[in-house]
Chains A and B, each alone.
Chain A
């Protein structure tokens, strides 16, 4: 009997990325205590990159032998692998764009990198979780590390405010999620997604109760993806947190949250989709609209990108509403494109902001094109991708999402969503306007040249954005194969 509970070696391989990341994270915390010389602390960044690269290899290796692990708690399939690779990739870019930033802010602790790694462990578990309790654990691991990251520069008042807000509202949201989990356990007698799916499919359980559970769980996820009406934390947190952390928060945890959202709603609650689809429809539209219209009014670039991030969550929710294999593939592609674009954009923001993030107003980007043409050109690529101009990843993402939505006969949501992206063009264009059409001000004079790591992060993100725009099939084919249907 006990033998059945002993994991096989294949099952250990299936959690290889999490294992590697945890070990490297612990190693970094250990070294942190040992290394006292400030200069030697620069090994933490390369070490965490190495760990992330190992985890990436581990994720790919795990996919070589896909299947469930640990009594169906986890499942390694194409979908999980896609999101594992995505969040680990986001981690690499985040580390690359942070190292110079931390040196600039005289805060070269190893725990920063350890926290990033732990956060990714959580996201990686979320991506492969097949069990509501595992999802909860994954979210908690990811979130607690993120709360600390948001307040990482502890002498900075804005950092503290950001961390506290994020923590309070985040915990609140998790409570909703847990309540929903309890409810569904009471209804179906299980927290396993596959079992819930089967129980709801037979129709023996009251749909109304399951619907309430779905709604509560959706509320919990809505906080994590900053969907309306639970979006209000995002602008404050994104503005207050250090720019590279914001880049990380707006991409990695969000992608992982969407992964669980897609998995839970398309497998466990797939059979009662008619009861949650109208809800998601409304939330998607409200999220796009509120995000875009609020972004128009912003003068701080981090807040602007925060509201833009809310709007983009709305677009992905359109794909969720479609509730189809194509919709799920579109969401996956979109999240990948958005992650590359957004992390690149925030890396440029981190570069321009200078010590203490003095220059984060939109006007501080005036004339950037004349002083730093390379960086301005890259930020242009990111903005065009966020607008959704063809030949960028953002455009194809939008295109696939709205194609899936039209397939699912969501004509009005499509039309309103696309008109929304025309509204969005206005505020993204403002960034181009100040960079290219305004004369340089104090903020862009004498910017010290960008460090090599940041440069790599920015150029790699831009290259990825453009490649996804010209050869989307590379990613889309895998996403289509791996999508939940």
Chain B
């Protein structure tokens, strides 16, 4: 029993505890959920211990015990530089989501908080599972609470959105399950490390076309979750219909399940297929960046705008991953976290505005800055973070992705960088329309400023935006070290010799990215 097991199972225990709270005492449910989720967050901070002064590449906090004898399925969990931050993101955002839902969820309160905590269980599990079967279990389990969160507490078209969300993921999952079983039949194990070592040592090989099919089995499941253009159509529906807390968890953490899966499974397990398909994956990513941004530009609905901006931002992540460069991958992982923080904050702020004015239409606002200056300021900071202003978090991630992509193919950068420009357009235009100008009668009367509870929910994210934009050393070393290992594992078999040769002339992978970045950042300042 390690700390990681504790962090994983506390939410499950918390779920059952919350179910026991009497129905007619909503305050107890709220307080219970807050205490439980804060407790889990505090416990999860302990996971930082091995990473605080060093950047170990191996797995930490591993537990590996048998779960099912035959076929041998193991409860194998562990933490590395990649999963650490995603686990922390999940545990941080859950209490925030609880705070956000304090008043806005007004019916079936007990179930709401129970499902929210259950969702945390699934999410943490996905990020730490090291057995393909266990991973799949958590992958599916996380689906159920989110389905209920959208379906019960969502807006008008919630049922359509919830079912669409479930079915899209389900189709992908089934393909992934086929691939998982196939790998098991070939290798005799579900254990990720074991399969990886079999592949590395050449004991497990697939024909190129089989490898491509297996890659696609995983890839489609992850691409739906990311979501990668053109599989993104469930996302705007789910986001617009979900309650605020659901949108936050969905955008900030659940979408990362897809990108995490790409980095963790698609690259190292099927390097040949991943390299072979990189051109068209990148093409789709760039399509997503531009398409998401352009559609966001014309959205009259704030939540939909933020949702499409997610499609665009996640395109950057996929671009970074499939650039197969150290900087690109570092940027992609960093951008996962950035997007979690800043888009989570955006959804939260939009939710605050919705609670006051009961509309998501941009046209219903205007001049909000006059009655609610604090809200406007926080929104501005978040907007600037989202468009990639230096010293705020997204800049670092986008910059690294673009730098990595430039090493791979400069043409990609030309198109992808347009996405950055567009993002400034739609976000600033949104800000201008909603916050500037003369406040109408209804806006000025129904727009009180942030309350104490709302401050408590948003402040951690604002601090993180600045922290992640300036003190990258807190986060990047462990990510970089881990990514170097993943890149090493996902080398194209036949190209290995070539790569070694090239590495002499190029920037050595891993060690340099952070200093280069710091220099770049200071120049921009």
Q: With CB as the reference atom, state the residue of chain B lying closest to A433.
A: B159
**A437 and B162 form a contact (CB under 8 A):** yes
**Distance of B396 from chain A, by nearest CB (Å):** 37
Assess A399 versus B181: contact at CB under 8 Å? Given A389-B141, A437-B152, A472-B68.
yes
Chain B 64-107 per-residue mask, 1 if CB under 8 angstroms from chain A, else 0? 00001111000000000000000000000000000000000000
Specify which of A390, A391, A402 lies most central, judged by the most chain B CB atoms within 10 Å of its CB.
Answer: A390
Contacting residue for A422 out of B136, B171, B181, CB 8 A: B171
**A477 and B70 form a contact (CB under 8 A):** yes
Judge if A273 is at the interface, Cβ distance under 8 Å: no
Chain A residues with Cβ under 8 A from B171's Cβ? 419, 422
Chain B residues with Cβ under 8 A from A395's Cβ? 140
Judge if B151 is at the interface, Cβ distance under 8 Å: yes
Chain B 145-163 per-residue mask, 1 if CB under 8 angstroms from chain A, else 0? 0011001100000110011
Assess A403 versus B141: contact at CB under 8 Å? Given A418-B178, A436-B152, A437-B151.
no
For B, the interface residue count at a CB cutoff of 8 angstroms equals 33
Contacting residue for B181 out of A389, A390, A402, A472, CB 8 A: A402
Contacting residue for B170 out of A406, A414, A425, CB 8 A: A425
Q: With CB as the reference atom, state the residue of chain B lying closest to A390.
A: B137
Judge if A156 is at the interface, Cβ distance under 8 Å: no
**B178 and A422 form a contact (CB under 8 A):** no
**Distance of B109 from chain A, by nearest CB (Å):** 13
Chain A residues with Cβ under 8 A from B152's Cβ? 436-437
Q: With CB as the reference atom, state the residue of chain A lying closest to B217.
A: A415
Judge if A362 is at the interface, Cβ distance under 8 Å: no
**A419 and B70 form a contact (CB under 8 A):** no
**A399 and B177 form a contact (CB under 8 A):** yes
**B167 and A418 form a contact (CB under 8 A):** no
Chain B residues with Cβ under 8 A from A477's Cβ? 69-70
**Distance of B393 from chain A, by nearest CB (Å):** 34
**A437 and B159 form a contact (CB under 8 A):** yes
Judge if A426 is at the interface, Cβ distance under 8 Å: yes
**B68 and A473 form a contact (CB under 8 A):** yes
| Contacts of B293-344 to chain A: CB distance below 8 A | none
Chain B residues with Cβ under 8 A from A390's Cβ? 136-138, 140-141
**A429 and B181 form a contact (CB under 8 A):** no
**B151 and A436 form a contact (CB under 8 A):** yes
Chain B residues with Cβ under 8 A from A399's Cβ? 177, 181
Chain B residues with Cβ under 8 A from A402's Cβ? 177-178, 181
Q: With CB as the reference atom, state the residue of chain B lying closest to A425.
A: B170
Chain A residues with Cβ under 8 A from B163's Cβ? 426, 429-430, 433
**B178 and A415 form a contact (CB under 8 A):** yes
Query: Complex: how many Å from CA A437 to CA B159?
Result: 7
Chain B facing A: main interface SS: helix
Chain B residues with Cβ under 8 A from A425's Cβ? 166-167, 170
Query: Complex: how many Å from CA A389 to CA B166?
Result: 11
Judge if A476 is at the interface, Cβ distance under 8 Å: yes
Chain A residues with Cβ under 8 A from B184's Cβ? 403
Q: With CB as the reference atom, state the residue of chain B lying closest to A424.
A: B170
Indicate the size class of the contact surface on chain A: 20 to 34
Judge if A445 is at the interface, Cβ distance under 8 Å: no
| Contacts of A420-434 to chain B: CB distance below 8 A | 421-422, 425-426, 429-430, 432-433
| Contacts of B171-198 to chain A: CB distance below 8 A | 171, 173-175, 177-178, 181-182, 184-185
Judge if A370 is at the interface, Cβ distance under 8 Å: yes
Query: Complex: how many Å from CA A383 to CA B163?
Result: 14
Assess A389 versus B144: contact at CB under 8 Å? Given A418-B175, A436-B152.
yes
Judge if A384 is at the interface, Cβ distance under 8 Å: yes
**B136 and A370 form a contact (CB under 8 A):** no
**Distance of A57 from chain B, by nearest CB (Å):** 27
Contacting residue for B144 out of A384, A406, A472, CB 8 A: A384
Judge if A65 is at the interface, Cβ distance under 8 Å: no
Chain A 407-423 per-residue mask, 1 if CB under 8 angstroms from chain B, else 0? 10001001100110110
Query: Complex: how many Å from CA A473 to CA B166?
Result: 29
Query: Complex: how many Å from CA A407 to CA B152?
Result: 41
Chain B residues with Cβ under 8 A from A472's Cβ? 68
Judge if B358 is at the interface, Cβ distance under 8 Å: no
| Contacts of A358-408 to chain B: CB distance below 8 A | 370, 384, 387, 389-391, 395, 399, 402-403, 406-407
**Distance of A188 from chain B, by nearest CB (Å):** 36
Judge if A480 is at the interface, Cβ distance under 8 Å: yes
**B71 and A403 form a contact (CB under 8 A):** yes
Contacting residue for B148 out of A403, A436, A476, CB 8 A: A436
**B137 and A391 form a contact (CB under 8 A):** yes
Query: Complex: how many Å from CA A377 to CA B324?
Result: 46
Query: Complex: how many Å from CA A314 to CA B105?
Result: 43
Chain A residues with Cβ under 8 A from B71's Cβ? 403
Query: Complex: how many Å from CA A433 to CA B160?
Result: 10
**Distance of A295 from chain B, by nearest CB (Å):** 14
Query: Complex: how many Å from CA A182 to CA B140?
Result: 50
Chain A 164-180 per-residue mask, 1 if CB under 8 angstroms from chain B, else 0? 00000000000000000
Contacting residue for B178 out of A389, A406, A429, A432, CB 8 A: A406
Chain B residues with Cβ under 8 A from A389's Cβ? 140-141, 143-144
Chain A 450-485 per-residue mask, 1 if CB under 8 angstroms from chain B, else 0? 000000000000000000000111001100100000
Chain B residues with Cβ under 8 A from A433's Cβ? 151, 159, 162-163
**Distance of B187 from chain A, by nearest CB (Å):** 13
Query: Complex: how many Å from CA A471 to CA B152?
Result: 31
Judge if B108 is at the interface, Cβ distance under 8 Å: yes
Chain B 94-137 per-residue mask, 1 if CB under 8 angstroms from chain A, else 0? 00000000000000100000000000000000000000000011
Query: Complex: how many Å from CA A428 to CA B49?
Result: 45
**A421 and B174 form a contact (CB under 8 A):** yes
Chain A residues with Cβ under 8 A from B167's Cβ? 422, 425-426, 429
Query: Complex: how many Å from CA A391 to CA B134?
Result: 10
Specify which of B136, B152, B171, B174 lies most central, judged by the most chain A CB atoms within 10 Å of its CB.
Answer: B174
Q: With CB as the reference atom, state the residue of chain A lying closest to B168.
A: A422
Chain A residues with Cβ under 8 A from B177's Cβ? 399, 402, 418
**Distance of A257 from chain B, by nearest CB (Å):** 27
Chain A residues with Cβ under 8 A from B70's Cβ? 473, 476-477, 480
**A403 and B185 form a contact (CB under 8 A):** yes
Chain B residues with Cβ under 8 A from A473's Cβ? 68-70
Chain A residues with Cβ under 8 A from B144's Cβ? 384, 389
Query: Complex: how many Å from CA A480 to CA B174?
Result: 25
Query: Complex: how many Å from CA A418 to CA B182?
Result: 13
**Distance of A416 from chain B, by nearest CB (Å):** 10
**A415 and B166 form a contact (CB under 8 A):** no
Q: With CB as the reference atom, state the residue of chain A lying closest to B158.
A: A437
| Contacts of B258-290 to chain A: CB distance below 8 A | none
Query: Complex: how many Å from CA A390 to CA B181?
Result: 14
Query: Complex: how many Å from CA A447 to CA B181?
Result: 45
Chain B 348-361 per-residue mask, 1 if CB under 8 angstroms from chain A, else 0? 00000000000000
Query: Complex: how many Å from CA A103 to CA B193?
Result: 58
**B181 and A406 form a contact (CB under 8 A):** yes
Query: Complex: how many Å from CA A266 to CA B288?
Result: 52
**A414 and B181 form a contact (CB under 8 A):** yes
Query: Complex: how many Å from CA A128 to CA B152?
Result: 49
Contacting residue for A429 out of B136, B166, B175, CB 8 A: B166
Query: Complex: how many Å from CA A477 to CA B173?
Result: 27
Chain A residues with a Cβ under 8 A of chain B: 370, 384, 387, 389-391, 395, 399, 402-403, 406-407, 411, 414-415, 418-419, 421-422, 425-426, 429-430, 432-433, 436-437, 471-473, 476-477, 480
Interface pairs (23), CB distance under 8 Å: A389-B140, A389-B143, A390-B140, A399-B181, A402-B177, A406-B181, A406-B185, A414-B181, A418-B175, A422-B170, A425-B166, A426-B163, A429-B147, A429-B166, A432-B147, A433-B159, A436-B148, A437-B152, A437-B162, A471-B68, A477-B69, A477-B70, A480-B70
Question: Could you list 12 further interchain pairs (A-B, Cβ under 8 angstroms) beyond the known A418-B174, A433-B163?
Answer: A370-B108, A403-B184, A411-B178, A415-B178, A418-B177, A419-B174, A422-B173, A429-B167, A436-B152, A471-B68, A473-B70, A477-B69
Q: Which 6 A-B pairs have the closest CB atoms?
A: A418-B174, A390-B137, A422-B170, A422-B171, A437-B151, A473-B69
